[in-house]
Amino acid sequence: MFNKKNNTPPPEDKPERRVYKRIKKHFILSYFELTNPEIRYDASQLKNISLGGMCFVTAKPFSRGALLGIELKTPFMAELTHLEGSVLESHEKLKNIIYETRLKFENLTPQAEFVISRLIQYFEKEAGESSE
C-alpha cells in the first residue's frame, strides 16, 4: 500500500538506510564553526548519536556542508570528547529560536570512536536490561 499523496510506501515498509546503530540520549555539548572557532555556542542538547553522525539542537541554522566542531561531555570521561563534521541539514523547530541540525562525522579520532562506541554499547545494554 502506498501513500496517495506522494506515492511512497508507508514508513514501516521503508528499508532502514542507517549504516550505524544510533542511540537517543540527551547529553550537553558545545559547538562552533571550524572557520570561526572563537565564537562558541554552549549548552546545546544532543538528540541522538551514532558512529556516523549526530543530531542536536542549535541556536541558529547552518548551511549544508558547514564544518562544525563539537565538544561532547559524556558520563565515561572527565575530559571533553572532540568531534568534527559537516552539516547535512539544519531545520527550524521553533521559529527563529531552535533548530535541529544533522551532522555527519569526519576525521573521527580513535579516542572519539572509542567513546561513541562505548556510549552505544552501554545504552543498548541498559535499554535491554530495562525491557526484561
Taking the CA of residue 3 as centre, how many other CA atoms within 13 Å lie in the half-sphere pointing to its CB?
A: 10
What tens digit of pLDDT does each residue of 21-36 get?
A: 666 767 788 999 999 9
CA–CA dist 69, 2 (Å, integer) = 40
Q: What is the pTM of this model?
A: 0.76
Asked if pLDDT for residue 56 goes beyond 60, the answer is: yes
Q: Are 87 and 65 in contact (CB under 8 A)?
A: yes
Domain 18-127: assigned CATH number: 2.40.10.220
Asked if pLDDT for residue 66 goes beyond 80, the answer is: yes
User: For 41, left (φ over 0), alpha (ψ -120 to 50), or beta?
Assistant: beta
Quickly state the pLDDT bin for 55 (edges 50, 70, 90): very high
Quickly state the pLDDT bin for 132 (edges 50, 70, 90): very low
What tens digit of pLDDT does each residue of 87-108 get?
A: 999 999 998 889 999 999 999 9
Average pLDDT over residues 54-58: 93
**Domain residues of the chain, as ranges?**
18-127
Q: Which of the residue ranges 5-19, 56-70, 111-125 would you say has the lowest mean pLDDT?
A: 5-19
